Amino acid sequence: MKFGMRWFGAQDDPIPLEYIRQVPNVTHVIGALFDVPVGEVWPMDKIIALRDQIEGVGLKFELVESVNIHDDIKIGGPKRDWAIDNYIATIKNLSAVGIKVICYNFMPVFDWVRTQLRHRLPDGSYTMAYQDALVQGTAQETMERMNANNTGGHKLPGWEPERLVHLQELLEAYAPLGAEGLAENFKYFIQAIMPTCEQYDVKMAMHPDDPPKALFGLPRIATDAQDLRRIESFYDSPYNGFTLCTGSLGENRANDVPALIREFAGRDKVPFAQIRNIKFTSDVDFHESAHPSAYGSLDMYEIMLAFYQAGFDGYARSDHGRDIWGERGRPGYGLYDRALGTSYLSGLWEAITKANR
Ligand code: CS2
Ligand code: MN
């Protein structure tokens, strides 16, 4: 398991790369270009500049999170083929600097959704939470409730004001699709890009839907084992893989996360793992927790053991951390708690690896 940390770039991330370098067992940075509009080709000069920054502090740049998918690819809209051609050009550019894995998602309109970005835990730390009752009604209503909720000026990805101007239009475009239509459009996309991925040795790693269920009447296609098997079936290759996010999949109590790991990592379909814990507060409500098993509802030892037993040798990162020690980070992406998470997870990994030698 090669550990990395996500970094949002010198412009947008308050954490210096030099600090990431000091986190024990972290060897990789998972980066992206955040100033290229979705759908356009990532220019070579900007990719090289990012790589040089990361390598400049002695870390490696082999994964990207995310190259986002243009809505016309998901909807099957008029600019679909243009956006796919550009995606292919981006894959080739990334390959030229040694990128091995691209994390992406196929969620309509929004990326992950939480109802509280700053939920106080009894120990005085802050975390993100999800309450199902608060996502009833329209997306607009949810957003207003969320903004009333002390977000510290932060927005969830996909909820940026410039996108929300088109929200109604987007929701209407997705409405007639249903999960079947979205899956068809995914199939068209993945079949179009796979030959390039294979030729240029870049693995696609789809992030599951977060939370793993339909919201605001929008379709979802990556929520459980059955969905993931269908995604595999559209193009069966280690290049058509998953970002196995334990938190996202674990947010549905019916998902057996270690079993999912054994199945999909066991078939070499998991180039990238995101590992975090969540704590259920009802059947469907949860908040994100500190990484160790005792603080959440997922058994992190079982999870790490499942990766080991599946023969996993890919990349991993601790996913979201809480705000602790007075830090006020990007929601989920402060330094301290993610560093603690990495230390804990890499400790479990060392113990499991050595015990099974
Ligand atoms: C990430 C996602 O912060 C997170 O939860 O796992 O935002 C992830 O980057 C995207 O869904 C991948 O496209
Ligand atoms: Mn994740």
Q: From the CB of 8, is ligand 1 less than 6 Å away?
A: no
> What is the CA(163)–ligand 2 centre distance, in A?
22
Residues of the chain with pLDDT under 50: none
> What is the CA(357)–ligand 2 centre distance, in A?
30
To the nearest whole percent, how much of the chain has pLDDT over 90?
A: 83
Q: Which residues contact 190 (CB under 8 A, 6 or more apart)?
A: 204, 231, 234, 235, 240
Tokens of 48: 């090289």
Q: From the CB of 299, is ligand 1 less than 6 Å away?
A: no
Q: Which ligand is nearest to the CA of 111?
A: 1
Q: From the CB of 223, is ligand 1 less than 6 Å away?
A: no
Tokens of 166: 């088109």
- The pLDDT, as a whole number, for residue 180 is 95
Give dist(CA 31, CA 61) in Å, integer.
7
- The CA–CA distances, whole Å, from 108 to 55, 69, 160, 172, 178 equal 34, 10, 15, 12, 11
For the segment 288-307, what is each residue's pLDDT rounded down to a tens digit?
999 999 999 999 999 999 99
> What is the CA(125)–ligand 1 centre distance, in A?
22
Q: From the CB of 207, is ligand 1 less than 6 Å away?
A: yes
Question: What is the radius of gyration, based on Cα positions, of the chain?
Answer: 19
Test site for ligand 1: of 210, 286, 330, 333, most ligand atoms within 8 A of the Cβ: 210
Length, in residues, of the chain = 357
Q: Which residues contact 196 (CB under 8 A, 6 or more apart)?
A: 88, 91, 92, 202
The ligand 1 atom at the shortest distance from the C-alpha of residue 332 is: 3
The ligand 1 atom at the shortest distance from the C-alpha of residue 107 is: 11
- The pLDDT, as a whole number, for residue 98 is 98
> What is the CA(78)–ligand 2 centre distance, in A?
30
Tokens of 121: 């835990």
The ligand 1 atom at the shortest distance from the C-alpha of residue 274 is: 6
Give dist(CA 71, CA 79) in Å, integer.
9
- The pLDDT, as a whole number, for residue 153 is 65
* C-beta of residue 163 within 8 angstroms of C-beta of residue 37: no
Give bridge partners of residue 116 from the DSSP assignment: 129
Mean pLDDT for all residues in the chain: 94
The model's pTM is: 0.95
- The pLDDT, as a whole number, for residue 150 is 55
> What is the CA(248)–ligand 2 centre distance, in A?
6
Q: From the CB of 103, is ligand 1 less than 6 Å away?
A: yes
Test site for ligand 1: of 207, 278, 317, most ligand atoms within 8 A of the Cβ: 207
